[in-house]
Amino acid sequence: MTAQDLDALYQEIILDHYKNPHGKGLRGDGASADTAEVHHVNPTCGDEVTLRVHLSDGADGRVVDDVSYDALGCSISQASASVLHDLVVGKSVDEAMAIHQEFLTLMQGKGTVEPDEDVLEDGIAFAGVAKFPARVKCALLSWMAWKDATARVIGTGGVAGKAGEGDN
């Protein structure tokens, strides 16, 4: 497969997640000790995401039970939120944080990092985005919101509630 074929495949994956998003639409009321909701804005382009995370107790610690979101923005930011949902739901928080770190490393690599397909699955489609600094914040918006919301649940031990405006 040529580099051009690979780029076309990655574009197709991003467009598929944009047109058929997974996890879109806030679920639950966000008013439990295991749930937090945050709102993040990319001030560079105006993309926004309101993201809600729900954790539960599993045999090996906290587990990401659900990630839901409402988003306004470009195809990259919305597709990235869909991929995030697919990658972290059902994983332990530790596993999900490792996936988050792998995606962050890919996005900050300026196109020089070889993505780990076993870890990132459809997230590898964003490898080309990393070459465009103006678009990296778009791809990272929901990921940073997820990390923020998850930290709020873990750190509060009580009702995490809603956060104010954040930015990436």
Q: Name the 3-class secondary structure at 102.
A: helix
Q: pLDDT tens for residues 120-157?
A: 999 999 998 999 988 999 999 999 999 999 999 998 54
pTM above 0.75, yes or no: yes
What type of residue sits at position 76?
I
What is the pLDDT, as a whole number, of residue 3? 66
What's the domain count of the chain? 1
Q: What is the average pLDDT value for the chain, to the nearest integer?
A: 88
Q: Residue 33's Cα: distance from chain center in Å?
A: 21
Q: What is the CATH number of the domain that holds 91?
A: 3.90.1010.10
Q: How many CB atoms lie within 10 A of CB 1?
A: 7
Distances (CA, A) of 108 to 43, 66, 86, 152: 18, 26, 21, 24
Two structure tokens written together for 7? 């780029």
Is residue 13 domain-resident? yes
Tell me whether residue 84 is exposed, middle or buried, using C-beta atoms within 10 angstroms of its C-beta: 0 to 12, 13 to 18, 19 or more: buried
Backbone angles phi, psi at 31, to 5 degrees: -110, 55
Is residue 131 domain-resident? yes
User: pLDDT-derived band of residue 161, with 50, 70 and 90 as boundaries?
Assistant: very low
What b/e string do you get for 92-104 counting C-beta neighbours within 10 Å, with b at 16 or more? bbebbbebbebbb
Is residue 135 domain-resident? yes
What type of residue sits at position 78?
Q
The residue to which tokens 């599993």 are assigned: 58
Structural domain span for residue 65: 3-155
pLDDT of 165 > 80? The answer is no
Is residue 34 domain-resident? yes
Residue 14 contacts residue 126 (beta carbons within 8 Å):
yes
Give the C-alpha separation, 99 to 95, whole Å. 6
Is residue 161 domain-resident? no
What is the pLDDT, as a whole number, of residue 40? 97
Is residue 167 domain-resident? no
Q: pLDDT tens for residues 31-53?
A: 678 999 999 999 988 999 999 99
User: pLDDT-derived band of residue 10, with 50, 70 and 90 as boundaries?
Assistant: confident
Is residue 165 domain-resident? no
Is residue 52 domain-resident? yes
Backbone angles phi, psi at 99, to 5 degrees: -65, -45
Work out whether strand 35-41 and strand 48-58 pair parallel, antiparallel, or are unpaired: antiparallel
What is the pLDDT, as a whole number, of residue 118? 93
What is the pLDDT, as a whole number, of residue 6? 57
Q: pLDDT tens for residues 45-90?
A: 899 999 999 999 988 789 999 999 999 999 999 999 999 999 999 9
Two structure tokens written together for 14? 């991003």
